[in-house]
Chain A
């Protein structure tokens, strides 16, 4: 509990006590170790100051000291629920610097793994958002399905959460023989659960009452704060790097970009940001189905692995669509086997910066929901 602080109000003659309240850094609904300093007038939030740095794990320092392949495990640990998606822009950047053309099979496996991980990440996002709103059942349903996705990752890479699966020029290992059937079974299961969750949580009257018209983020504010991912698309801005600047082989697939339309409230409220995630899962299922169909069976995934990784002098910026948004890596090479500098544009960090703007004037209980709808991962905020 913070100290009581008297602040003179300039907008009225009513005397009002404002309280400074400390939320976190260890609080179950701050989604990690975020600390919020909240100023309250009664129960209305008047100011929010996020304090970060409780999980600063020195990513950029490690990138200076490690060789190029050794940096990949640290990238896994940045946004630890979407490791596959994190690795993709980094390995693509180094491949571009080295001039490696990766085999077709590798491209397809990468896309399938990324989309599976996008589903897993959105499942956690919607599940924890449901927890914040007071619904425990969707959490259990989503985590049941997530275990099946993790089983696929485990068969491929040996790890459940942090994979180090995408190597520069290839993959750590080939997928198992029944990969295609297993993935299609998961897609079926994901669709089934999503339908259940839509009945159970998304179109539930209580849930709509709590989340609609709360935390409205107008499109121009979202763009000014450089938001990306579901936070931006929830405000109705149709921007997805997979469509707008296709990387890897995303231009071969047919899929839509779901945007928030203000179905039950205003465009850009918490409900819209959440429904964008639900619909993106469906689009990911569509991409996976097409990729499974087109994926070649033959091919060596380690065929193009370079003997030594020494990119020529220069710099490169590569970005890709993370489940949370636009993740970019700026890599400066000095011609040796270690990068001079790797700068990461953390999606969660940028998206978090909009929180003080959109949470003013709402109830304190809504602040937790707004934070949940932004879906931050503190490992990526602090890096």
Chain B
């Protein structure tokens, strides 16, 4: 989008930025994503490494939150079992719009190595909640996590957020701007 480049070359009148309000809003939203980390299995250990000093996840503007009500996106890292599926759905419903989901690892994407004989494994978290970004790997490398995060940021930046909000208002018949 190049908003920052424009800020570097201010106009004589103190700096004018040409763009839509939506652009500026999305620019801010994409860079301050708070997440609900739902660490389930092996991928959560890689996610711990991702949060530590070598890879430093927080430079994407993310802050871990322990409650779904403060989170912008949920990160499902690991095998979703049938016993756990109900809780994931509940957490997703508790999150406020606009909300996103990153599914990390083969298990969360499609069941992974447990797809055939895993009688207690949900074959993909997208069967219960919508998934916006899939990160493949068993477990994915921290670089893959970063790639997934960049993909999500790109998606948020290009989103027509006001249209989405209007649509949601019509669908749910709830006055959001109260």
A residues with a Cβ closer than 8 A to B are 25-28, 32-33, 53-58, 61-62, 65, 73-74, 77, 80-81, 124, 139-140, 143-144, 146-147, 150, 160-162, 378-379
Contact of A61 among B37, B39, B52, B117 (CB under 8 A): B117
Does residue B118 face the partner (Cβ distance < 8 Å to A)?
yes
Q: Is the CB of B42 within 8 A of A162?
A: yes
Q: Is the CB of B117 within 8 A of A62?
A: yes
B41 to chain A, nearest CB (A): 6
CA distance A62 to B42 in the complex (A): 18
Q: Is the CB of B113 within 8 A of A58?
A: no
A192 to chain B, nearest CB (A): 16
Contact status of A161 and B45, CB under 8 A, knowing A56-B120, A62-B118: yes
Does residue B87 face the partner (Cβ distance < 8 Å to A)?
yes
Q: Which residue of B lies closest to A77 (CB)?
A: B42
A161 / chain B contacts, CB cutoff of 8 Å = 42, 45-46, 139
CA distance A139 to B46 in the complex (A): 14
Q: Is the CB of B41 within 8 A of A379?
A: yes
Q: Is the CB of B84 within 8 A of A25?
A: yes
Contact status of A65 and B81, CB under 8 A, knowing A160-B46, A162-B139: no
Q: Is the CB of A77 within 8 A of B113?
A: yes
Contact of A55 among B41, B53, B119, B138 (CB under 8 A): B41
Q: Is the CB of B81 within 8 A of A54?
A: yes
CA distance A187 to B141 in the complex (A): 24
CA distance A62 to B115 in the complex (A): 11
B57 to chain A, nearest CB (A): 12
Contact of B79 among A57, A147, A150 (CB under 8 A): A57
Interface size on B, residues (CB 8 A): 33
A74 / chain B contacts, CB cutoff of 8 Å = 113
Q: Which residue of A lies closest to B50 (CB)?
A: A143
Nearest 8 CB-CB pairs, A to B? A143-B52, A80-B42, A140-B53, A147-B54, A58-B118, A144-B53, A54-B84, A56-B120
CA distance A222 to B175 in the complex (A): 60
Q: Which residue of A lies closest to B91 (CB)?
A: A26
CA distance A227 to B46 in the complex (A): 28
Given contacts A53-B81, A58-B120, A144-B53, 12 further A-B contacts (CB under 8 A): A25-B87, A28-B37, A33-B40, A55-B79, A56-B120, A61-B119, A80-B41, A124-B45, A124-B48, A143-B48, A161-B45, A379-B42
Does residue B66 face the partner (Cβ distance < 8 Å to A)?
yes
CA distance A58 to B114 in the complex (A): 8
Q: Is the CB of A26 within 8 A of B52?
A: no
Does residue B59 face the partner (Cβ distance < 8 Å to A)?
no
CA distance A73 to B42 in the complex (A): 12
CA distance A73 to B116 in the complex (A): 15
Interface residues of B in 105-126 (CB under 8 A from A): 113-114, 116-121
Q: Most chain-B Cβ atoms within 10 A of its Cβ — which of A33, A58, A74?
A: A33
B127 to chain A, nearest CB (A): 17
CA distance A247 to B42 in the complex (A): 28
Q: Most chain-A Cβ atoms within 10 A of its Cβ — which of B42, B54, B81, B113?
A: B42
Contact status of A57 and B118, CB under 8 A, knowing A25-B84, A80-B42: yes
CA distance A334 to B41 in the complex (A): 32
Can you report 6 residue pairs joining A to B where beta carbons are below 8 Å apart?
A25-B84, A28-B37, A33-B84, A57-B79, A61-B118, A143-B48
Contact of A81 among B45, B54, B141 (CB under 8 A): B45
Interface residues of B in 38-87 (CB under 8 A from A): 38-42, 44-46, 48-49, 52-54, 66, 78-79, 81, 83-84, 87
Q: Is the CB of B54 within 8 A of A144?
A: yes
B53 / chain A contacts, CB cutoff of 8 Å = 140, 143-144
Contact of A58 among B38, B39, B121, B138 (CB under 8 A): B121
B121 / chain A contacts, CB cutoff of 8 Å = 57-58
CA distance A62 to B118 in the complex (A): 7
CA distance A80 to B49 in the complex (A): 14
Q: Is the CB of A57 within 8 A of B46?
A: no
Q: Is the CB of A140 within 8 A of B52?
A: yes
A34 to chain B, nearest CB (A): 12
CA distance A77 to B78 in the complex (A): 11
CA distance A72 to B54 in the complex (A): 29
CA distance A236 to B102 in the complex (A): 46
CA distance A81 to B40 in the complex (A): 13
A162 / chain B contacts, CB cutoff of 8 Å = 42, 138-139
A338 to chain B, nearest CB (A): 12
Q: Which residue of B lies closest to A56 (CB)?
A: B120
B118 / chain A contacts, CB cutoff of 8 Å = 57-58, 61-62
Contact of A56 among B38, B52, B81, B141 (CB under 8 A): B81
Q: Is the CB of A57 within 8 A of B139?
A: no
Q: Is the CB of A28 within 8 A of B83?
A: no
A81 / chain B contacts, CB cutoff of 8 Å = 45
Q: Is the CB of A143 within 8 A of B120?
A: no
B49 to chain A, nearest CB (A): 6
A121 to chain B, nearest CB (A): 10
A68 to chain B, nearest CB (A): 16
A25 / chain B contacts, CB cutoff of 8 Å = 84, 87
